[in-house]
């Protein structure tokens, strides 16, 4: 950066740092996010956790759609097993849903990826 050059991105950077801090605290404390209480900016946000990548659509400040973009661990079999969690998370506006028996790792990675996507929507405010 040259002397006198402005940092136009500094506000967004602060929000990104805040989102990362929230992500780390949620990972450390291992709790689910109650999305209904968060100020979310409308848009489509993509995030990954391990082998699961999701796209979360936010409209009117609420999650309205969750798609599994990629599921590398066990492929389509496990992706299909955890698909019912997508609608449940939308209905509850929360990632606090029970994991699918037989697909626990996929379930946990799915929930974490959704949490990360939601936190991204907060970082762009």
In a domain, 4, yes or no: no
Q: What values do phi and psi take at 42, rounded to 5? A: -60, 145
Enclosing domain of residue 23: 10-123
pLDDT, one tens digit per residue, over 15-49 is: 566 666 665 555 544 456 666 667 789 999 999 99
Position 13 confidence tier, pLDDT thresholds 50, 70, 90: low
In a domain, 46, yes or no: yes
What's the rounded Cα separation, in Å, for the pair 40 and 108?
A: 22
Least confident range of 36-45, 58-67, 78-87? 36-45
* Number of domains forming the structure of the chain: 1
Domain harbouring 20, CATH code: 3.90.1010.20
In a domain, 17, yes or no: yes
In a domain, 100, yes or no: yes
Q: Which has the closest alpha carbon to 36: 90, 84, 107, 82?
A: 90
In a domain, 5, yes or no: no
**Contact call for residues 108 and 4 (beta carbons, < 8 A):** no
């Amino acid at each position: 950066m040259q002397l006198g050059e402005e940092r136009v991105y500094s506000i967004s950077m602060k929000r990104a740092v805040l989102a990362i801090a929230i992500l780390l605290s949620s990972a450390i404390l291992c709790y689910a996010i109650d999305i209904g209480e968060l100020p979310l900016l409308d848009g489509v946000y993509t995030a990954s956790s391990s082998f699961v990548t999701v796209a979360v659509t936010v409209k009117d400040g609420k999650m309205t759609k969750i798609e599994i973009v990629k599921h590398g661990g066990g492929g389509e079999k496990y992706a299909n097993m955890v698909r019912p969690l997508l609608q449940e998370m939308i209905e509850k506006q929360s990632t606090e849903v029970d994991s699918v028996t037989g697909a626990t790792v996929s379930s946990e990675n799915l929930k974490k990826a959704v949490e990360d996507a939601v936190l991204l929507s907060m970082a762009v405010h």
